[in-house]
Structure 1
Amino acid sequence: MNIPLVDLKMQYYTIQNEIKLAIDSVLERGRYVLGPETERLEATLSKYTGTTYAIACSSGTDALLLALLAIDLQPGDEVISTPLSFFASSEAVSFLKGKPVFVDIDPETYCMDPAQIEAAITPKTKAILPVHIFGQCAEMDPILEIAKKHNLYVIEDACQAIGATYKNKKSCSMGDLGVISFYPSKNLGGYGDGGMVFTHNEDLFKAARDFRTHGEYPKQFKHKRIGTNSRISEIEASILNVKQKHIDAWNQKRRDLAQNYDRLFSENNLRSHIQIPKTGSNNQHTYHLYLIQTAPKESLQKYLAERGISTGNHFPKPIHHLDCYEGQYAHQSFPIAEGFCEKSVSLPMFPELTFEQQETVVRNIKVFFEKR
């Protein structure tokens, strides 16, 4: 039995008739950019997240850029974030000539540790960028309190956490701005790239919307700002309008699968060999990824691959160890994030995964440790 890390085709087969009708309706309408499908997606997801405004754009990375442009990030401005994230969280800051400043992660949730933030604040700090990693929100109350105390913006990177909640508040609804990604493998993924920016602030909304379309909206050929072209296509928006109706059910299936992994690891006495993910007491997790930590990481992955079980190595290095930042953080250490990257393994996780497949995964992990 071959078990993939993720299987996007399986999900497509469950909704293919709806998808084909949605795409065909766009083709029949003949409007392919910033049309009714985009407007409907923005309105639907704004309501879903509990935010006032939403701006659909071409990727999660562009959503981060638009959010940073909206707060007027200037060269030399500092943004406090986490070294455990996809590169884009810091790349967007660096692309605009800002400086990413890192704090270590919480050892249980793997999100930014709020207790370390204030020590990282300097007169150049402009914003805090918590990453809701793997489908779980950061501890937002202390982050928001610190931001208010120091007059800083908060940008939630929820690219892996649409639908996740903190104290019953949806991701993207708590900071000044929030962003998500529609990359195909995300919990709400399209069939190409896409992203969205959320905010309650009208001025930030208008700024992000202008930057999305060459510095102006609506189109008047005046271009009051230097912007970019970050529009989502109508076909992509139509696909997401179909898929968003299923997001809560898919997220619940992911939680069921995570709970089943937890149970199987306990019943097979594997908890002494691996560390399973934990959910913060204030959180509802959406399990974009299910990662374990274990010391013989490479040998376990090789063993599983030989038996047809795919695993992932999503963050082999923390961001401050990436080549483009060589030497910039040489005198800093973030031991929890660094240790996590050394030991973490992503296991198969997607809504169509079966309990039988999970049993096969865990059974093979058990045999691996019995042979050591």
Structure 2
Amino acid sequence: MKIDFANLTKAYLEHKDAIDIAMSDVVSSSRFIMGKEVQDLEMQLQQYTGAKHAITCASGTDALILAMMALDIKPGDEIITSPFTFIASAETIAFLGAVPVFVDIDESTYNIDVNRIEEKITEKTKAIMPISLYGQVADMDAVNALAKKYDLAVIEDGAQSFGATYKGKQSCNLSTIGCTSFFPAKPLGCFGDGGAVFTNDEALSDKIKSIRVHGQTERYIHKYIGIGGRLDTLQAAILIEKLKYYDNDVARRQKVAKKYNEHLINHTTIPFVEEYNTSVWAQYSIRIKDRNGVQLKLKEKGIPTAVHYPKPLHLQECFEYLEYKQGDFPVSENVSNEIMSLPMNPYLSDQEIQYITKELKELL
């Protein structure tokens, strides 16, 4: 048996006719930039999340940049975030000349340890960026309470958690600004790069929209320094079609995760989801001591795996200037040595899950 890790082909084929028509309509109209589908998608994203404003953009990375630019993040400002994540979270902070200040993660959820944030707040701190890792939202009530106490903004990096809920409320509508990614392998993915920014603040929304098109307030009139960060109309059209079925896809992902849990609960450290959260299972990640050996043997059986993430950000060469060292964030370092993601997509069959878990358990 050969397993597909994300099964993007099946994701397309399941709704091929509708997606093909939507793409053809855009091509025929030649509305490639800021076509009607972009505004339609933004309205639907607002309805889905409950956020008053949704602004689509070119990628999840651009979403973070737009959020920070709208908040007037300047060189030397500090933003508190996690070292256990994809590099874009901290990279965008550094890109704007600000300083990523890392806080270790909770060993159960792998999200930022909210009990360690306050000690890192200084007079230079301007925002907290909790990351909703693997599809589960961080403890936003605790983060928001600290932000209110110290007059800070909160940017939820929801690149992996669009569609997840926290205490009944949608990810990306939980703080000052929420950001997400529509990278193809995300739970809701387009056919290239794409992202979105969410806020309930009208002034921030207007500013983000302007920064997204080179700081324009009207054609060739520029109020802000901006970027070219628009979402292509083709990607918007694809997302409109996929959003129609997204709740069903999330339910199927949750069903896959539940079956994994049932097979593996007594054999390894399975993912933990807080009782007040739901996860969209961007990844199904377990902990393995002999990770390299297990990965190699599973690969021989046609079972792909991945590591999200093998090296925490504070130990990456590009962040050497921050002068962190081995041992500064022991939970992140330990998890990065053991974490391993199994195939996760809505199309995994019971037979495939049974095969994956049977082969895995023989190696544990």
Which interval holds the TM-score relative to the shorter structure?
A: over 0.9
Q: Which moved more, 1:24-33 or 1:301-310?
A: 24-33
| 1:202 match | 202
| 1:51 match | 51
Find out whether 1:234 has 2:233 as its counterpart: yes
Displacement of 1:338: 0.9
Displacement of 1:4: 2.1
* Cα distance in 1 between the residues matched to 2:3 and 2:221: 54
Displacement of 1:52: 0.4
| 1:277 match | 271
Q: Report the residue type matching 1:18 in the other structure.
A: A
Match of 2:352 among 352, 357, 371: 357
| 2:328 match | 333
Displacement of 1:72: 0.2
* Cα distance in 2 between the residues matched to 1:330 and 1:26: 49
Find out whether 1:342 has 2:347 as its counterpart: no
1:93-148 CA-to-partner distances (Å, cap 9, x unmatched) read 00000000011111111111111110000000000000000000001111100000
| 1:321 match | 315
Instruction: State the SS of the aligned residue for 2:45.
Output: helix
* Cα distance in 1 between the residues matched to 2:9 and 2:324: 43
1:336-371 CA-to-partner distances (Å, cap 9, x unmatched) read 1111100001000000111111111111112223xx
* Structure 1 unaligned residues grouped into runs of 5+: none
* Structure 2 unaligned residues grouped into runs of 5+: none
Instruction: State the SS of the aligned residue for 1:24.
Output: helix
* Cα distance in 1 between the residues matched to 2:66 and 2:247: 27
Alignment of 1:8-157 (within 5 A): 8-157=8-157
Over the aligned positions, Cα root-mean-square deviation in angstroms equals: 1.0
Instruction: State the SS of the aligned residue for 2:28.
Output: helix
CA distance 1:129–1:24, shift in 2 (3 Å): same
* Cα distance in 1 between the residues matched to 2:216 and 2:315: 38
Displacement of 1:208: 0.8
| 2:297 match | 303
**TM norm structure 2:** 0.98
* Cα distance in 2 between the residues matched to 1:188 and 1:238: 13
1:218-250 CA-to-partner distances (Å, cap 9, x unmatched) read x32111111110111111110000001111111
* Cα distance in 2 between the residues matched to 1:311 and 1:11: 19
Displacement of 1:46: 1.0
Q: Report the residue type matching 1:229 in the other structure.
A: G
* Cα distance in 2 between the residues matched to 1:368 and 1:294: 10
Q: Report the residue type matching 1:304 in the other structure.
A: L
Displacement of 1:28: 2.1
Q: Which moved more, 1:135-144 or 1:24-33?
A: 24-33
* Cα distance in 2 between the residues matched to 1:92 and 1:126: 15
| 1:262 match | 261
1:295-324 CA-to-partner distances (Å, cap 9, x unmatched) read 111100011001111000120001111110
**TM norm structure 1:** 0.96
* Cα distance in 2 between the residues matched to 1:293 and 1:329: 28
Find out whether 1:293 has 2:300 as its counterpart: no
* Cα distance in 1 between the residues matched to 2:294 and 2:334: 17
Q: Which moved more, 1:30-39 or 1:89-98?
A: 30-39
* Cα distance in 1 between the residues matched to 2:180 and 2:47: 15
How many residues are treated as equivalent by the alignment?
Answer: 363
Would you say the 8 A contact 2:85–2:308 is kept in 1?
no
Instruction: State the SS of the aligned residue for 1:326.
Output: helix
Displacement of 1:326: 1.8
Displacement of 1:327: 5.0
